[in-house]
Copies of this chain bind each other. A is one copy, B any other.
C-alpha cells in the first residue's frame, strides 16, 4: 500500500541530520549598546512604543536595553524562559520551529519595527535567530506588564500588532496548505516587495537577507524547488536575479498574478 505508517527513524530526513542547524550560543548572543533616546530610533514609529510620548516614553526607554546581535546568532530559543519582549531596530530575524528529526518550519521573518518574543506560559514558543547583524531593543516582560496597566495605549498597540500577525499567519496557512510552488515563491516575493517598498523609492529590487534553505523552510519546499522556481521566473522574464540575494522584479503585474492575489 502506498500509504504506510512509515517509521520516522528510518532516515527519511537524513539531509537534516547530516547538516544540523548551528548550535545555540547563549553567552555570545547579545552585546549591550550605550543608551540613546527613543525618538531618534529607526524603529520607533513602527514599534509598540510609538503609542507613548514625552515622560512616558522616557520612563519606557530607561527600562529597555539596546543590544547588538551578530548574524547567525540566536536571540532566544523555543522553551527558553521568556524574559523579554524585543523590538527589531535594524537587521532581520528568522522565527522557526523544529520537529524532533530536524525538519524545520520558518514561521516568519522580522525586520525593523517588528516585535519578537511570542511566548506561552512563560516560555518562548519559537526560535529567533539573527539572519543579518541586528540591533534589537529588549524590555523585561514584568516591566512591560506593569507599564501596560498604566498606559493602556501600549496594550492597544501590542494588540494591533498581534492582529496583524494573526492575519499574516492566516495567509501563510493558505500558502502552505493550498498554493503551488510557483504561487508560493511569487507570493513570497510580492510580500517582501510590499514590506520594504516604502524604504526604497520606486525600484522593485528585493533584497534577500536569508538563504535558500530559509526560504524553502518558510514556503514548505526544498531548496532545489525554490532555486528552480526562481530560475523559471527569470526564464519567463518576470524577474532578473543579479545575484542570489538580489531579485529585481521586471513585471510586477505578472508576479502578482502568479502569486494568486487573494
Contacts and interface: CB of A to CB of B under 8 A. Distances in A.
Given A173-B172, A233-B5, A103 B162 contact: no
Copies in the complex: 2
A207 interface: no
Interface in A227-245: 228-229, 232-233, 236
Interface stretch (A30-38, A85-93, A152-160): A152-160
Contacts of A97: 170-171, 173-174, 262
Contacts of A6: 180, 182
A201 B220 CA distance: 38
Contacts of A176: 173, 176-177, 220
A contact residues, range: 35 or more
Contacts of A1: 232
Interface of A: 1-6, 8, 97, 99-101, 103-105, 107, 118, 120, 125-126, 149, 152, 155-156, 158-159, 162-167, 169-174, 176-182, 217, 219-220, 225, 228-229, 232-233, 236, 258, 260-262
